[in-house]
Amino acid sequence: MSGNLSEAAVVGSCMIDERAYWQVADLLTAADFTHRGYASLYAEIRARANAGVTTDAFVIADDRPELREVIFGEPLQQQWRHGNVRAYAEAVQRAAITRRVRQAGQQIAQLSGDDVIGQAQRLVGACAPHTAGGMRHIREFGRMSFDAIQARLDATGDLTGVPTGLGKLDELTGGYQPGDLIVIAALPSVGKTAFALQSTRAGAEFAKAEGKGRHIGVFSLEMSGVQLNDRLIASAGRFDSKLLRMPKRIEDHDWPRITGGSTIVANLPILIDDHAGLTLDVLCARVRQCHAVTPFAMIVIDYLQLITPPKADREDIAIGIISRTLKTLAKELGIPIVVLSQLNKEFTDRPRLKNLRGSGAIGQDADVVMFLHRPDETARDYVELLLDKQRNGETADIALEFIGRYQLFQLATARPAGLKSSRAITADQMWDSLDSGDSF
């Protein structure tokens, strides 16, 4: 279908059936149309749909005489099958993206200066599909909300987001939610990366079962892809991860676990970028470019303070720019972005939002903030997960046991002696609660 014919099909369908506009509202803006008349007509249809006014062709022609020639032109006299309006809109969108890519190519050919790669990536990133901008009537959001509720009702599982890898945390959050920025913070060597990889594996298993071709994207600015793979196969195969560093200690009975874990991980939809020192612009450009070809279900970034900061007068301002940009990216792509963060060492009891290293903006921009905290250095396998902020839900403390050889966290059955004042929920308390009928 030619470009103008596709454009005619979209506006024609929207005038035949007033419900058709809502099937394409998230795909197109008037700027995606090449035919000036169809662009003006689509803008008018959009305004009317948002205002709850009819989009009938004759009514529009009476109200907007300057559009009559377009409305009653030969292409719009076709009996478009309005049930196919989504396909028509996708054709218009593809043509618009192609035009933008060609224009970007011409601009890239003329670039010069010290940051040619950065400029080129920004130009390519701008070629991504446009969505309707500006202020929108609450009806649009009502439709989106209803569609989201329906999708949740149709889902086979109980979660509304991507699994976290811990059942109790899933109960509290519903999983990592689309559009959310999730920050997991801890001091060094408490288990941030292990926790993130546990979520990565759980998310990848979810994405694989979902069957939509989505992947989990991991940007590792500290560890190599090989190191991440080793940790993942150790947890999947349930064998001691240090065996991969000391292969002479591997016994015959270890090999089935190693090969089994390797097979499991190799078949998971996980994409890893282990380039160090990524700038914010490059990282965002790579996410957008990859997402356009291979959609993500979730992004994991290890870790925030290793992203090369943008130029700013102070470090806290630069870190704030990073956190706001990542939140915007999560919202734009409609996926959760999980970011690991370091803590400063200025707390004596338990970490708080103000202890996030670099900027208080991290806590402000994040939808969810969790701390991994080891309250007793003599009990190194005992870690508390402090869900300190959840914009759309409750907070809680969860007692965890870290199984270092498998690089896994699980709910702790009890806390070490001397920590009885801790608020963290243990497995024993959960079972006692279920028996008594109480809830946390």
Does 60 share its domain with 104? Answer: yes
Does 195 share its domain with 223? Answer: yes
**CATH code (residue 137):** 1.10.860.10
Mean pLDDT of the chain: 81
Residue 348 belongs to a domain: yes
Supply the pLDDT for residue 196: 92
β-strand 181-186 against 368-373: which pairing, if any?
A: parallel
The residue range of the domain holding 13 is: 3-149
Residue 433 belongs to a domain: no
Residue 420 belongs to a domain: no
The total domain count for the chain is 2
> Which of 98, 115, 149 is the C-terminal boundary of a domain?
149
Does 167 share its domain with 80? Answer: no
Average pLDDT over residues 204-208: 91
Does 71 share its domain with 186? Answer: no
Residue 314, helix vs strand vs coil: coil
Query: What number of other Cβ atoms are within 10 A of residue 350's Cβ?
Result: 15
- What is the per-residue DSSP string for 185-230? EE-TTSSHHHHHHHHHHHHHHHHHHHTS--EEEEEESSS-HHHHHH
Does 354 share its domain with 226? Answer: yes
Quick: pLDDT tens for 305-342: 888 877 766 777 888 888 888 998 898 888 999 999 88
Does 73 share its domain with 216? Answer: no
Quick: pLDDT tens for 12-65: 888 888 888 888 887 888 888 999 999 999 999 988 887 778 888 899 999 999
Residue 276 belongs to a domain: yes
Supply the pLDDT for residue 436: 45
Residue 196 belongs to a domain: yes
Supply the pLDDT for residue 40: 92
Quick: pLDDT tens for 68-105: 888 887 766 666 666 688 888 889 888 888 888 888 88
Q: Is the pLDDT of residue 296 over 90?
A: yes
The fraction of the chain above a pLDDT of 90, given in percent, is 14
Quick: pLDDT tens for 219-235: 988 888 888 888 888 88
> Which of 93, 120, 149 is the C-terminal boundary of a domain?
149
